Amino acid sequence: MHNESSFKRVSVVGLGYIGLPTAAVIASRGVDVIGVDVSEYAVNTINQGKIHIVEPDLDMLVQSAVTTGKLKATTQPEVADVFMIAVPTPFTEGHKPDLTYIESAVKNIAKVLEKGNLIVLESTSPVGTTEKMSHWMSEVREDLSFPHQNGEQADIQIAHCPERVLPGYVIQELVSNDRVIGGITSRCAERAKQLYKIFVKGDCLITDARTAEMAKLTENSFRDVNIAFANELSMISDQLNINVWELIKLANRHPRVNILNPGAGVGGHCIAVDPWFIVDSAPDRAKIIRTAREVNDSKPEFVLNKLRKVAAEFKTPKIACMGLAFKADIDDLRESPAVEITQQIIHDQLGEVYIVEPHIQQLPEKLRAENSKLVSLAEGLEQANIIVTLTDHSVFKQVKPSILSEKVIIDARGIWEKD
């Protein structure tokens, strides 16, 4: 495709789960893209036309972008018309946001900034971060003016456009999702909108930077609160001897009720993290948001306690842990409650542990032990006398009920109950 926008050269800083797909999609629209990452391994892999992360269809997109010369990766920032920042924003001890990746990326870019450049922060960030970026850059470049100093007349434009893509559907959602674009000034937002129009088919909705930051945190907190409601119901139902899956199915037949699924806990690096940024900004006001986090974080221990009781009734407990990924049909084990639970089962020596995770070839270091083994689905089902479902992978749903009839099942994901 031919690029007719004023953005001839786009730099994407941070080539992970968000940055790399974004870089490849923009390159596929005929724009020259420079990807910047601190990891030499990531940079070398990408420059060979390969990928260092797993996401459907990304491999082909990157390969074609690199082969046509439109995408190039480097460890040092180069001159560009726009810089899109997609680096991690984890939290530190006490759930405090850690902005060091953003600060160091921004200060690094500042060295190569030119008058007229646009910087867009894509990383999910606490309210006020985009404004902080403006200050950080001005410390490095006293020769340029920034929006917090010179408003609409600033030499440099800065905006926030939070990523909203769902892992597993990134390529599709990058193009089709609506985007919220918040500028420090309206000119910043308008300029950023021109950038996103190169590849986004959804609407680009304009606001200020603080509202855009809060919008992203709100989306993930909304989901966290609703999952917490489902998880709380599952624990109450257990106490009251009610099947929570049947309960939710029935309640959801009300035209204005739509309860989400209880599970083994909330994992991933977004929903279990972002609500804490709201709590950190307004600790006295964010009551439901904080409690939802606590409820979801308590779910793994609840599942473990159920398993401890069941295992105590067996002479030789053989436990099949179904799934390690943080959610269905992906291979991502980071911040996964399934890993946390499995690790504890192994550590507490609750029995022989048969780990079934069809999306990985070998166990992560922390799950390797004398009493643990990565096995196929068939072997796990055959060997185990206790089965605990931790991730709702599609392949698990196809297991015939007759195979399960002689096992004790703790179905934390409702895989074999829902339908």
Residues marked as catalytic: 216, 270
- Binder among 64, 149, 261, 344 for ligand SAJ (CB under 6 A): 261
Say how many Å lie between the first and final Cα of the chain, rounded: 45
- Binder among 22, 45, 124, 125 for ligand SAJ (CB under 6 A): 124
- Binder among 165, 217, 341, 409 for ligand SAJ (CB under 6 A): 165
Nearest residue (CB) to ligand SAJ, 148 versus 413: 413
Q: Does 184 bind ligand SAJ (CB under 6 A)?
A: no
Nearest residue (CB) to ligand SAJ, 273 versus 320: 273
Total residue length of the chain: 419
Nearest residue (CB) to ligand SAJ, 166 versus 378: 166
Secondary element (H or E) of residue 33: strand 32-36
H helix intervals, 204-286: 209-240, 244-251, 274-281
Q: Does 266 bind ligand SAJ (CB under 6 A)?
A: yes
Distance from C-alpha of 369 to C-alpha of 345, rounded to nearest angstrom: 11
Q: Does 323 bind ligand SAJ (CB under 6 A)?
A: no
Q: Does 129 bind ligand SAJ (CB under 6 A)?
A: no
- Binder among 23, 109, 156, 227 for ligand SAJ (CB under 6 A): 227
Distance from C-alpha of 286 to C-alpha of 294, rounded to nearest angstrom: 12
Distance from C-alpha of 315 to C-alpha of 312, rounded to nearest angstrom: 8
Query: Interacting stretch for ligand SAJ, rule CB under 6 A, among 2-10, 98-106, 132-140, 165-173?
Result: 165-173
Strand partners, 353: 319, 372
Strand partners, 118: 82, 157
CB of 303 to ligand SAJ, least distance (A): 12
Q: Does 223 bind ligand SAJ (CB under 6 A)?
A: yes
Q: Does 167 bind ligand SAJ (CB under 6 A)?
A: yes
DSSP string, 339-372: HHHHHHHHHTT-SEEEEE-TT-SS--GGG--TTE
Distance from C-alpha of 112 to C-alpha of 398, rounded to nearest angstrom: 54
- With CA atoms as reference, report the closest residue to 350 among 378, 309, 391, 298: 309
Given phi > 0 = left and psi -120 to 50 = alpha, else beta, which region is 145?
Answer: beta
CB of 133 to ligand SAJ, least distance (A): 19
Q: What is the DSSP letter of 165?
A: P
- Binder among 163, 208, 213, 352 for ligand SAJ (CB under 6 A): 163
Q: Does 303 bind ligand SAJ (CB under 6 A)?
A: no
Binding mask 3-22 for ligand SAJ (x = CB under 6 A): --------------------
- Rg, Å, the chain Cα set: 24
Nearest residue (CB) to ligand SAJ, 77 versus 167: 167
Task: Collapse the DSSP code of 68 into the 3-class scheme (helix H, G, I; strand E, B; otherwise coil) and give the result.
Answer: coil
- Binder among 164, 191, 193, 293 for ligand SAJ (CB under 6 A): 164
- Binder among 14, 97, 182, 267 for ligand SAJ (CB under 6 A): 267
* Site for ligand SAJ, rule CB under 6 A: 124, 163-167, 219-220, 223, 227, 260-261, 263, 266-268, 270-271, 326-327
